[in-house]
A and B are shown apart, each in its own frame.
Chain A
Amino acid sequence: MTDERFEQLMRDAEKTYRVPPEPDFEGMWSAITSQTAGLTPRNVPALPDRQEPRGFLRSSRIRIAAALIVGVGLGRASMMLGHRNVPASAPAPVAVAAAPAARADTNMARPYEVETSQYLGETAALLVSLPAEVKSGRADQEFTGRAADLLTRTRLLMDSPAANDPAMRSLFEDLELVLAQVVRLQQNSKRIELDLINRALEQRDVIPRLRTAAADISAN
C-alpha cells in the first residue's frame, strides 16, 4: 500500500511537477542562428585527409616555426655572404654595401609576404571572433591554443625581414600584446579580460590596421 501510494504521488508529479510551458521555438532558433553566425557549420574544419608529417613536425605550430627559423637563418647567412663578396678595394663602398642588403631583402620578400599574409588573415579572424567566442563560452583551450600559435608566429616575424617596415613592426608589437592577453584568458574572469582586450584593440586601432596591412600585401 505504501509503495502504491508513493507511486501514485510520483505519477502525479510527472504531470504536475514543473510542467513545461509552450516555448517560443522560432525565437530560440533566431537566437541560435545569430550566435552561430560567425561559426557556421561550413566553417567547421574538416578532418585532415592527407598524410600528416611524423615526429616533432606533426604540429603545425612547430612546422611554421621551423620554416620561419630556417628562413631567418638563410636570410642572415645570405646577407653575410653578400658582405664577404664585396671587394675590399671597391671604389664606392657605401653603394656596394647597400646593394647586397637590398638584394637580400628582395630575395626574402616573397616567402615572408606569403607567411605574413596568412598570419595577418588568421589573426584578424581570431580577433574578430573573440567577443562571440568568449560570450558563448567557446573560448576554450583550442581557441587559446590558436592564439598561442599566432603569438609564436608574431615573435618569429618580428625577428624576420617582414618587420623591416616600421609600420609593420609596430603592428606586430601591438598584436604581440593583444595575443598575449588572449592566451592568458582565464575561465573565471573572461568578461573582464575581454573588456581589457577590446580596449587595447580600440585604442591601438589594431583591427583596421590589420586589415589594411593584409590588403596591402595581397595587392602587392
Chain B
Amino acid sequence: MIARVLSGDRIAARELYDAHAPRVFRLAFRLTGDADLAREFTQDTFVRAFSQLARFRGDSALSTWLHRITVTVVANAMRKVKRFRERETDLEDVHPIGSDGAGVDPVLRERLHRAIDALPEIYRTTLIMHDIEGYTHTEIAEVLGVAEGTCKSRLSQARAQLRATLADLAPEFEP
C-alpha cells in the first residue's frame, strides 16, 4: 500500500487514511479532550505522514509510526494551549458518561478524570495509551521512543499519583 501511495495512487492514500484515521482520532481526542483540536491534529498527522512517507523505512508498524506522529503533533501543540489542562469543566459536557459506566460514584469518577488531566504529560500520555486506549507497553515504548521499562515505570508513577489524589475521597485506596 505504501508503494502505491508513493507512486501517486490516490485510492491507496484514501485506503491508508480509512484504515488508520479512526484510531489516530481516538488517540488525539483522548489526549486533548477537545473534538476540534483532535480533528485538527488528526489532519496534521496525515498531512505530515503523506509528506514524509518516503522516509518511512518499515522499522516499526505503520500504525506505530502514525501514532508517534500523532503524539508528537499533540504534545507540541498542547504545550502552546496549556489552558486546556487547567480549564474549569462542566462535568457532563466534557466527559460524556457511557452507559457502561454505571455503578461508579459520579463524584469519584469526576475526581479521577480531573486527576488524570492533572498528571504530568509523560505520565498522562502513558496512562491514557495503556489504561484507556489499550496499547501494550511494547507499542507505547515504540511510539514514545523509550524503553519498555521506562514505560512501565511511568505507568506505575501515574497510577500512584492518581491513588494519592483520590485518597481523601476514597479512604480504602490509602496504602
Given known A-B contacts A12-B109, A32-B46, A17 and B104 have beta carbons under 8 A apart: no
Given contacts A19-B96, A42-B8, is CB(A12)–CB(B104) below 8 Å?
Answer: yes
Chain A min CB distance to B133 (Å): 8
* Contact of A14 with B by CB under 8 A: yes
Closest Cβ of chain A: how far from B100's Cβ, in Å?
Answer: 5
Taking a contact as CB atoms closer than 8 A, the residue among B8, B25, B95, B100 that contacts A17 in the complex is B95
Most B-side CB within 10 Å, residue of A17, A23, A138: A17
* B145 contacts A by Cβ under 8 Å: no
- B97 sits at the interface (CB 8 A): yes
A1 touches B172 (CB 8 A): yes
Chain A 29-48 interface 0/1 with B at a Cβ cutoff of 8 Å (1 = within): 10110011001111011110
Contact A21-B29, Cβ < 8 Å, known A6-B163, A35-B43 = yes
CB of B14 within 8 Å of the partner chain? yes
Residue in B33, B42, B54, B101 whose CB lies within 8 Å of A18: B33
Distance of A15 Cα from B42 Cα, bound (Å): 21
Do B50 and A32 touch across chains, with their CB atoms under 8 A apart?
Answer: yes
Q: Does B62 contact A (CB under 8 A)?
A: no
Contact A17 B35 (CB under 8 A): no
Interface residues of B in 154-169 (CB under 8 A from A): 159, 162-163, 166
What DSSP secondary structure best describes chain A's contact surface? helix
A16 within 8 A of B: yes
- Which of B35, B47, B163 is close to A32, meaning CB atoms less than 8 Å apart? B47
Q: Given A13-B116, A20-B38, A29 and B17 touching (CB < 8 A)?
A: yes
A24-B39 in contact given A13-B132, A136-B47 (Cβ < 8 Å): yes
Cβ contacts B10-37/A at 8 Å (1 or 0 each): 0001100110011001100110010100
- A46 to B13: give the CA distance in the assembly, Å: 17
Asked if B173 is an interface residue, CB under 8 A from chain A, the answer is yes
Complex CA–CA separation, A47 to B95 (angstroms): 47
Collect the chain B residues with CB atoms within 8 Å of residue A9's CB: 104, 108-109, 112, 166
Q: Which residues of A contact B108 (CB under 8 A)?
A: 9
Question: CA A198 – CA B172 in complex, angstroms?
Answer: 63
Asked if A138 contacts B51 (CB within 8 A), the reply is yes
For A10, the closest partner residue in chain B by CB is B131
Q: Is the CB of B25 within 8 A of A2?
A: no
Chain A contacts to B: CB under 8 angstroms: 1-2, 5-6, 8-10, 12-21, 23-25, 27-29, 31-32, 35-36, 39-42, 44-47, 136-138
A–B pairs, 13, beta carbons within 8 Å: A12-B101, A12-B103, A13-B132, A14-B131, A14-B134, A16-B95, A16-B96, A17-B132, A19-B98, A23-B42, A35-B43, A44-B54, A45-B54
Q: Contacts A6-B162, A27-B39 given; 7 further ones with Cβ under 8 A?
A: A5-B170, A12-B104, A23-B22, A23-B42, A29-B14, A32-B46, A41-B5
